[in-house]
Amino acid sequence: MAQGYFELSTYNDSGRVGTISIRLEDLWKEQQEIISKHIEEIITFLKNKEKEIVNNSNRR
């Protein structure tokens, strides 16, 4: 994952609900690696959740 800046926003039907922003260069190298790993896990989870939602909506 690229070092630098990461932002994750959550949305509902009314618009943006919240945002998590992390500037990785402000962290120690060990923290960067840990945060990067967690971000990758979050992205994987969200991609899987998106596929699950699409599959469920296609079944209807």
Question: What is the tens place of the pLDDT at every residue in 9-55?
Answer: 878 778 777 777 777 777 777 887 888 888 888 888 988 888 888 88
Q: Is the pTM of this model over 0.85?
A: no
Rounded distance between C-alpha atoms, residue 40 and residue 33, angstroms: 11
Asked whether the beta carbons of 36 and 47 are under 8 A apart, the reply is no
Query: Alpha carbon of 50 to those of 19, 21, 23: distances in Å?
Result: 19, 22, 26
The structural domains of the chain, with segments of one domain joined by +, span: 5-59
Write down the pLDDT at residue 3. 55
Structure tokens belonging to residue 14: 């009314």
